[in-house]
Chains A and B, each alone.
Chain A
Amino acid sequence: MNALEINNLIMYYELFGGNKLMAINNISFSVEESKTTGIVGESGCGKSSIASTILKILPDNAKIINGNIYFKYGEIIKRSGKVDLLTLDKKTMQDIRWKGISMIFQGAMNVLNPVYRVGDQIIEIMRYKDNISKEEANEKLEDLCRIVNIDSSRMKDYPHQFSGGMKQKAIIAMALSTNPKLIIADEPTTALDLISQYNILEQIKKIQKKLNMSMIFISHNLFTVSNISDQVVVMYAGKIMESCEKKKLFENSLHPYSIALIKSCLSINDKKNKLYGIPGEPPNLVFPSSGCAFYPRCPYAKEICKKIEPEYKEIEKKHFVACWRYI
């Protein structure tokens, strides 16, 4: 059973002067219940836009023109079965946020309100969402501090008194505070040093298992994503190139972009090999070329790749790919 299902989603940003930046170009994927789907891709490929689209916190110039986002837990807004988030009105969407879907933002971002105490901000959201008393909220805050491993006395501090790692932990605590069904983690470890990265990843994994939550994990780091996910989605230029189970990605990845990505990651660990990069430049999302988006950088490019975009197809169970080589 899927906790979240995205079908044929298209979203673009309208730019100054009337141009369109295609951030999400016909994307479909799903998140299984209490499993993790990882999204990997280079910066600017549209991964974070997916997170903002699911929660509907896009800026005014973003336009969603096609697609559905089905969310399984309609009971949160007193409906049965799955609901399409894109059809919900503002008020209902507000109820979905943080009760149904919450988000772990990047700690490097300025996510905490600088003029209120960190603890108060976490208590605030619990009290709005769960209608609990101050005492209950305080107790729960203590629990959360234990889970994410922060000294609970620090909750009386202001955000500027927190270090980067502590901010990230506080943000994770905030995302967990209301027991959401699905968590979107958008580069939750990118701003941290390696040791903290490892600790936080382990914590997130543990918490997820304990609370039985589904998760979307977004990162540009292939290793982090493959470490935590069950299913991996490889994105390029606002499109999904390949999607498969974690094991298959390393054993049997099919798309030339995935292969190149894995190769460039592995070469860091392998001392004998030279560093491997993908030749060419990232694609232009404002004036996309016809055909396959990866075509200009692809070593296997054929004439047809230039002209017609390959279809995104399931070639075996839970393994999707969009490439002319496999059609």
Chain B
Amino acid sequence: MIHVGFTKYITRRILEGIISLFVVITIIFFLFRVMPGDPVSMILDPKMTPEMKEMIRNSYGLNEPIFVQYGIYLKNIITLNMGNSFHYSKPVFEIIMEKLPNTLLLFTSASILASVLGIFLGRIIAWKRNSNTEYILSVVGLFFYNMPLFWLGLILIYIFSFSLGLFPIGGMIDYQLWSFNPSIIEKILDILHHLFLPLITLTVSSFCGMMFLMRTSMVETLKEDYVIAAKARGLPDKVIRNKYAARNAELPVITALILGISGSIGGGVLTETVFSWPGIGYELFRSTMERDYPLAQGCFFMLSLITIVSVIVIDVVYSYLDPRISYD
């Protein structure tokens, strides 16, 4: 299935990703320099001694003209030297690497769950048009689709954590439990226990979009000649629905996913914040609140990287599913 042009196509995609990243970091650089006030104070920890401040000033080239500063800034990013966090007094890169798995755990599990659920339900409501199933699923879907996700999170916490006490209010692990050196299974169960509510919040608010996309796409696909021809052949309904209609209807949905990634990352930031999930989104929120600018920059950089990588991953998946795609 992999064509010669495929590597070329992916290379182009990655190149585009690098350009996007470059645009993003340039925006950040100028944001921090152009804004009113002393740019130095945004990079320097107020607690530092004057000697240390001078040292840092030199290492960032803050006494040089702005384009030299920009060059140094780029070099620092490429060498993953993003400075030290004021709050943690640790290199930003280290902190980000610590938080990255947590974000990836929440984000990927929610994305996969939402996609599977959305495509599955969309297929059902398109197949059973004008049935009660369609009406009920559509109304429920509409409600959650337009509901602000952070609000849904708060309500879920209110119901399941505060009133029923079934799930923890936030965080990722129970420190008390972990201090007793539990077994690995206990650890996993504890993380899953904490993961449940944020995962549900993120999934519920994003599967509806997928469901409606899939429905629209499938309703159109059902009118295609090849679906009617498959019916004429007397193939079982299940085969027609899954191998003919749904399989082709998925393609435009997957393309549309790319447009939604930026939004899902935003949703991820909100969810992590509501549930104090120790990921990059929550760290971004906290560091901006605490004016820990190096860390905020680092988090933003990482979130952009996740977006770009997701776009490329979806592209690759798409090219596996559609044999017609030509890479030029």
Contacts and interface: CB of A to CB of B under 8 A. Distances in A.
**Chain A–chain B contact at Cβ < 8 A:** yes
A97 B244 contact: no
A97 B232 contact: yes
B247 interface: yes
Interface in A265-316: none
B226 A110 contact: yes
A125 B243 contact: no
A128 B239 contact: yes
Given A110-B226, A114-B226, A103 B322 contact: no
Contact of B232 (A57, A95, A124, A160): A57
Contacts of B233: 97-98, 102, 125, 174
Interface of A: 55, 57, 93-99, 102-103, 105, 109-116, 124-125, 128-129, 158, 160, 174
Contacts of A55: 232
A116 B323 CA distance: 8
Contact of A110 (B224, B231, B322): B224
Contacts of B230: 113
Interface of B: 224-226, 228-236, 239, 243-244, 247-248, 251, 321-324
Contact of B225 (A95, A102, A111): A111
A116 B229 contact: no
B243 A129 contact: no
Contacts of B235: 94, 124-125, 128
A116 B233 CA distance: 16
A98 B229 CA distance: 11
A113 B226 contact: yes
B234 A114 contact: no
19 contacts: A57-B228, A57-B232, A96-B234, A97-B233, A97-B234, A98-B233, A99-B234, A102-B232, A102-B233, A105-B225, A109-B229, A110-B225, A111-B226, A113-B226, A114-B248, A115-B324, A125-B235, A128-B234, A158-B324
Contacts of B225: 105, 109-111
B323 A115 contact: yes
Contacts of A109: 225, 229
B222 to A, nearest CB: 10
A129 B235 CA distance: 8
Contacts of B322: 115
Nearest to A111: B229
Given A57-B232, A125-B235, A160-B323, A116 B243 contact: yes
A69 to B, nearest CB: 15
Nearest to A94: B234
A113 B232 contact: no
A94 B237 CA distance: 9
Contacts of A113: 226, 230, 243-244, 247-248
B219 to A, nearest CB: 12
A105 B224 CA distance: 13
A174 B230 CA distance: 11
Contacts of B244: 113
Given A94-B236, A96-B234, A113-B243, 11 more contacts: A103-B229, A105-B229, A109-B229, A112-B229, A113-B226, A114-B226, A115-B247, A115-B251, A128-B235, A129-B234, A174-B233
Contacts of A93: 234
Nearest to A60: B129
A95 B233 CA distance: 9
Contacts of A95: 234
Nearest to A175: B233
Contacts of B236: 94, 128
A93 B251 CA distance: 31
A150 B236 CA distance: 28
A170 B105 CA distance: 47
Nearest to B244: A113
Nearest to B235: A128
Contacts of A174: 233
Across chains A and B, which 6 residue pairs bring their CB atoms closest together, nearest first? A97-B234, A110-B225, A94-B234, A109-B225, A111-B229, A158-B323
Contacts of B232: 55, 57, 97-98, 102-103, 105
A85 to B, nearest CB: 12
A114 B245 CA distance: 11
A251 B252 CA distance: 56
Contacts of A114: 226, 248, 323-324
A248 B234 CA distance: 37
A55 B235 CA distance: 13
